Structures are given as structure tokens and as C-alpha cells.
Amino acid sequence: MYDSCPGHGIGTEEERVAWKQELTRNLPESQLKVLDVGCGTGAMGLLFAEMGHQVTGVDLSEGMMAKACEKAYVQKLSIDLIRGDAEHLLFNDGSFDVVVNRHLLWTLPHPDIALNEWKRVLKKGGVLLIIEGVWKDRSFPILAKRIVSDGMTRIFGRTHGGHYDKKLRRQLPYDGGVPKETMISDLKRAGFSDICVRDLMFIREMQKSQQPWYQRFAPARTYYILAATKQN
């Protein structure tokens, strides 16, 4: 059901075009070797494949990658899919020009290890693209709306996040999302440079038309793409 949730699958051509523009702003116009870490059903990786790049996707979930494989077949696109751990990649140093991930870092128990691992598999001058947000605003007005929205979702629909075990979520340092300032600090500590952050809330607005009313009631207010370069 992952792709059926607005914000996960790409629902309109307008959104598809917007993603392509944002993904390529910080990249050279040559064919690139791209690693989509935590690729899931392949939303970002397949966009890169559509643009002519050589794409590898890694995910722990074989079920999610099976969906990515189906989509690649339908769209007549080529993507290599490998079962693997985002924190411990089975690739040589300097294997990729680009490492991209979307909605992943907050799900990892050791985000610092992951960032160092993604840097390791990048070539010198390679670019890391991270798409993240703050999914749980702790301010009282937003928190109150979120409680109502989550209650309505349990009554009228389903959400993949609701199935995450509470004990597991307590082990995630960034459960609820990653603020931009935290992400920038983490990247600097990992040794990345030329860090650039762009707001993606306009894409959230595109997705609203596909959301049921009870999910539009308490939208996330922080959504961004961050690009950083490996210098050495």
C-alpha cells in the first residue's frame, strides 16, 4: 500500500516534473552512477533511470523492491535492485556519483553510521541528496490537530506509520523527522561540504489534492531536499 499514500508514490505528472527538477539542480549533465538507498518501491531511483542514469537500488524489504521491479518493467526502465542494509553497504569505496534517499534517515537506528557509509561509497566530488522533513511537529496546536487527524485515519483509512512498533520507534534517534539544522550539523560532522538546502513544501501542496480531508487537516510544515558534496 506504500505507493497509495500521497507523499510516497508520485501521483501526478506535475509532481513528477517537479521531482526531476529538484533532483538534478546540483548535478552535472552527464550520465551518472546513482545509488538509491532505502529505495522502497523505487520512486526516486526510477526517476533517475528515466533521465538516463545508471541506477542501483538497495532496500531491506524484498516486498518493496518487488513493487519497484514491477514499476520498472511497466515503464521499460532499467534498475538494479539489491537487498541490503543502508547502514552497511556492500559496495566498494567510491562506487557512485550520486547517493540519494527519501524519507529514510529518520527510520535508521544509527544515522551517523549511515552518513559515513554513504560518504564512503561516493566518488570524490560525488553528491549526496537527502529528502527529509519533520513529520511530528511538537507544538501544541499542531500536535492537537495531529491527534485528531491520526484518529480519523484509524477510522477511515490506513497509514503505514501506524504499524511501526512503539518499542522499535524508541530506538530511532530521529523518530518524527529531522530538522534542517540538525541535518546540516550531522553532514558537517561527517565531513561533507558545499551543503545546500531547498524547501520542498510546494511539492507537499501538489500532493494535497490526492489526500483525504482528514490527512490534510494537520500537514507537515517542514519538508526539504539537501545536497552535500564529498570533497575527499
Residue 108 has pLDDT above 60, yes or no: yes
**What value does the mean pLDDT of the chain take?**
88
Inter-CA distances, 190 with 97, 119, 177, 208, 231, Å: 18, 8, 19, 35, 11
- pLDDT digit string, tens, across residues 22-68: 999 999 999 999 999 999 999 999 999 999 999 999 999 999 999 99
Residue 87 has pLDDT above 90, yes or no: yes
CB 114, CB 85: distance < 8 Å: no
Q: What is the pLDDT of residue 148?
A: 53
- pLDDT digit string, tens, across residues 128-138: 999 999 987 65
CATH number, residue 200: 3.40.50.150
Residue 72 has pLDDT above 80, yes or no: yes
**Per the structure, how many domains does the chain have?**
1
Residue carrying C-alpha cell 521531482: 19
- Domain span at 51: 2-229
- pLDDT digit string, tens, across residues 145-164: 555 555 555 555 555 555 67
User: In the structure grid, which three cell numbers stand for residue 24, read together?
Assistant: 538534478
Q: What is the pLDDT of residue 141?
A: 56
Q: What is the pLDDT of residue 215?
A: 60
Tally of CB atoms within 10 A around 230: 22
Q: What is the pLDDT of residue 216?
A: 57
Q: What is the pLDDT of residue 88?
A: 97
Q: What is the mean pLDDT of the segment spanning 176-183?
A: 94
- SS3 assignment for the chain: CHHHCECCECCCHHHHHHHHHHHHCCCCCCCCEEEEECCCCCHHHHHHHHCCCEEEEEECCHHHHHHHHHHHHHHCCCCEEEECECCECCCCCCCEEEEEEECCHHHCCCHHHHHHHHHHHEEEEEEEEEEEEECCCCCHHHHHHHHHHHHHHHHHCCCHHHHCCHHHHCCCCCCCECCHHHHHHHHHHHCCEEEEEEECHHHHHHHHCCCCHHHHCCCCCEEEEEEEECCC
Q: What is the mean pLDDT of the segment spanning 214-229?
A: 78
Tally of CB atoms within 10 A around 229: 17
